[in-house]
Amino acid sequence: MLQSKTSSINNNIEIIDIKSNSIGEVYKSWEDRFPKESPLFDYSAKQDPERALLAVHESLAFVMQWLPTAIISRLASFPFQKSGPSAILLRGLPIDVDIPPTPIKASVFDDAGDRETDSSTLVPIAESWLLGISRLMGFPTGAPLATGDRGGLIRDITQNADDVNDLPMHRDYPAVARDPKFAMVEPEIFILFGVRGDVDDSGAKTVVMDSKTLLDMMNPTDRALLRTTTVQTEIELPNGEYFAIGRPFLPIIDNEEDGTSTVTLNNLPKARYVSPDGGGQTVEAYKRMSQLAFDKGERVNLKAGDMLIIQNSRLVHGRTKFYNTGSCLASGRWLIKAYVTNRLWKIPGETSLSDMAHTDYPNLNPMGWGGFRQQD
pLDDT digits (tens, 9 = 90+) for 18-53: 988 889 999 999 999 999 999 999 998 888 999 999
pLDDT at residue 202, rounded to an integer = 67
pTM of whole model > 0.75?
yes
Phi/psi at 28 (5° precision)? -65, -45
What percent of the chain is predicted at pLDDT more than 90?
60
* pLDDT(198) > 80: no
* pLDDT(264) > 90: yes
pLDDT at residue 144, rounded to an integer = 61
DSSP string, 223-282: HHHHHHS-EEEEEE-TTS-EEEEEEEE-SEEEETTTTEEEE--B--TTEEEE-TTTHHHH
pLDDT at residue 374, rounded to an integer = 41
> How far is the CA of 186 from the CAs of 227, 303, 340, 355, in angstroms?
21, 27, 9, 10
Q: Binning pLDDT at 50, 70 and 90, where does residue 182 land?
A: low
pLDDT digits (tens, 9 = 90+) for 73-126: 999 999 999 999 999 999 999 999 999 988 876 434 444 444 444 557 899 999
Rounded mean pLDDT of the chain? 86
Burial class (CB in 10 A: 0-12, 13-18, 19+), 150: buried
pLDDT digits (tens, 9 = 90+) for 150-163: 888 998 888 876 66
Q: How many CB atoms lie within 10 A of CB 114?
A: 11
Return d(Cα 374, Cα 265) in angstroms, integer: 13
